[in-house]
Amino acid sequence: MGSRVLSLRLDDELLERIRQHAAKRGMSVQDYVVRTLVREDFDERFQSSVDATERLGGWGATAAEAADGSPAARG
């Protein structure tokens, strides 16, 4: 897997907040930003998978449906 360069223009306040977040975790600013982007990308892909599963009928009754006796819970 190769790497590419991404250049960002950030205002001073945002960059300082990012530096503080990175420092709390013992990370460089670059590592913190990359980790944040990877996590956001995973969250989006995971949510897309959940949405697709629900469109296909899901995994059955949810806990709330089972608790309230809705028709989906009775199958």
The model's pLDDT over 14-71, given as tens digits with 9 standing for 90+, comes to 999 999 999 999 999 999 999 999 998 888 888 888 888 888 876 665 656 656 665 5
Stated pTM of the model: 0.60
9, pLDDT greater than 90:
yes
Domain map (residue ranges) of the chain: 10-52
Q: CB neighbours (10 Å) of residue 32?
A: 19
- pLDDT of 53 reads 85
- pLDDT of 22 reads 97
**Angle made by CA atoms 66, 70, 74, in degrees to the nearest 5:** 70
